Structure 1
Amino acid sequence: MTPAARVQSAIEILDLILAAAKGGGASGDKIVGDWFRSHRFAGSKDRRAVRELVYTAIRACGPIPPSGRAAMLRLVAADPALAALFDGSVHGPQPINPGEPIGEGGTAPQWLEQRLLHSGIEAADWPALLGRAPLDVRINPLRGAADLPEPGEPLHTPLGLRYPPGTPIERWEAYAGGQIEVQDAGSQLACLAVAAQPGETVIDLCAGAGGKTLALAAAMDNRGRLIACDIDRGRLARLSPRAMRAGVAVIEQRLLNPGHEAEMLADLAGQADAVLVDAPCSGTGTWRRNPEARWRLSPAELVRLAAVQARLLDLAAGLVRPGGRLIFVTCSLLDEEGADQGEAFLQRHPSWPTQTLQLPAGTAHGGGIRLSPARDETDGFFIACFGSP
Structure 2
Amino acid sequence: MTPGARVQAAIDLLDGIIAGARDQGAAADTLIARYFAERRYAGSKDRRAVRDLVYAAIRRAGERPVSGRAAMIGLAAGDPPLTALFDGSRHAPAPIDPGEAVAAAGVAPAWLEEKLRAAIGAEELPALLDRAPLDLRVNRLRGDRAAALALLPDAVATPHAPDGLRLPEGFRVEATDAWRQGLVEVQDEGSQLLAHACGAKPGMTVIDLCAGAGGKTLALAADMADRGRLIASDADAARLGRLAPRADRAGVTIVERRLLDHGREEAALTDLRAVADIVLVDAPCSGTGTWRRNPEARWRLSPARLERLVSLQARLFDLAAKLVRPGGALVYAVCSLLPDEGEEQVRAFLVRHPGWAIEADGLAAGRELGAGRVLTPARDHTDGFFVARLRAA
TM-score under structure 2 length normalisation? 0.97
Give the equivalent residue in structure 1 for 2:284. 280
Inter-CA distance 86–151: structure 2 relative to 1 (3 Å threshold): closer
Q: Is the 8 A contact 1:333 1:381 kept in 2?
A: yes
Deviation readout 1:16-60 (Å, 9 max, x if unpaired): 100111111100000000001111111000000000000000001
| SS of equivalent to 1:78 | coil
Find the aligned partners of 1:356 and 1:121 in 2 and give their Cα distance. 21
Question: How far is the alpha carbon of 1:311 from its aligned partner?
Answer: 0.3
Give the equivalent residue in structure 2 for 1:141. 140
Find the aligned partners of 1:100 and 1:260 in 2 and give their Cα distance. 49
Q: Is the 8 A contact 1:340 1:366 kept in 2?
A: no
What is the aligned counterpart of 1:154 among 153, 157, 164? Answer: 157
Q: 1:39-50 maps to which residues of 2 (within 5 A)?
A: 39-50=39-50
Question: How far is the alpha carbon of 1:360 from its aligned partner?
Answer: 2.2
Find the aligned partners of 2:374 and 2:258 in 1 and give their Cα distance. 30
| SS of equivalent to 1:336 | coil
Whichever residue aligns with residue 244 of structure 2, its letter is: S
Find the aligned partners of 1:3 and 1:110 in 2 and give their Cα distance. 33
Q: Does residue 1:87 correspond to 2:87, yes or no?
A: yes
Q: Is the 8 A contact 2:328 2:392 kept in 1?
A: yes
Find the aligned partners of 1:180 and 1:289 in 2 and give their Cα distance. 20
Question: How far is the alpha carbon of 1:151 from its aligned partner?
Answer: 4.9
Q: Does residue 1:256 correspond to 2:255, yes or no?
A: no
Question: How far is the alpha carbon of 1:149 from its aligned partner?
Answer: 3.2
Deviation readout 1:110-162 (Å, 9 max, x if unpaired): 010111123x2211111100000000001101112435132512111111010
Q: Is the 8 A contact 2:237 2:259 kept in 1?
A: yes
Question: RMSD of the TM alignment (CA)?
Answer: 0.9
Q: Is the 8 A contact 1:157 1:360 kept in 2?
A: no
Deviation readout 1:355-388 (Å, 9 max, x if unpaired): 1222121000241010000110000000001101
Q: Does residue 1:27 correspond to 2:30, yes or no?
A: no
Deviation readout 1:291-346 (Å, 9 max, x if unpaired): 00000000000000000000001000000001100000000000000000000000
What is the identity percentage for the equivalent residue pairs of Structure 1 and Structure 2?
60
Stretch moving more, 213-222 or 73-82: 73-82
Whichever residue aligns with residue 216 of structure 2, its letter is: K
Inter-CA distance 65–149: structure 2 relative to 1 (3 Å threshold): same
| SS of equivalent to 1:197 | coil
Deviation readout 1:228-273 (Å, 9 max, x if unpaired): 0001110000000000000000100100112222121111110000
Q: Is the 8 A contact 2:218 2:252 kept in 1?
A: yes
Q: 1:94-105 maps to which residues of 2 (within 5 A)?
A: 94-105=94-105
Q: 1:301-316 maps to which residues of 2 (within 5 A)?
A: 301-316=305-320
Find the aligned partners of 1:86 and 1:259 in 2 and give their Cα distance. 50
Q: Is the 8 A contact 1:148 1:174 kept in 2?
A: yes
Find the aligned partners of 1:78 and 1:291 in 2 and give their Cα distance. 22
Question: How far is the alpha carbon of 1:99 from its aligned partner?
Answer: 1.2
Q: Structure 2 stretches of 5 or more lacking a match?
A: none
Give the equivalent residue in structure 2 for 1:11. 11
Find the aligned partners of 2:152 and 2:122 in 1 and give their Cα distance. 39
Q: Does residue 1:336 correspond to 2:340, yes or no?
A: yes
Give the equivalent residue in structure 1 for 2:326. 322
Q: Is the 8 A contact 1:228 1:251 kept in 2?
A: yes
Whichever residue aligns with residue 289 of structure 2, its letter is: G
Find the aligned partners of 2:326 and 2:66 in 1 and give their Cα distance. 54
Whichever residue aligns with residue 154 of structure 1, its letter is: A
Find the aligned partners of 1:12 and 1:125 in 2 and give their Cα distance. 32
Q: 1:1-389 maps to which residues of 2 (within 5 A)?
A: 1-118=1-118, 120-144=119-143, 145-146=147-148, 147-155=150-158, 156-389=160-393
TM-score under structure 1 length normalisation? 0.98
Question: How far is the alpha carbon of 1:75 from its aligned partner?
Answer: 1.1
Regions of 4+ moved over 6 Å: none
Q: Is the 8 A contact 1:6 1:46 kept in 2?
A: yes
Stretch moving more, 337-346 or 140-149: 140-149
Whichever residue aligns with residue 2 of structure 2, its letter is: T
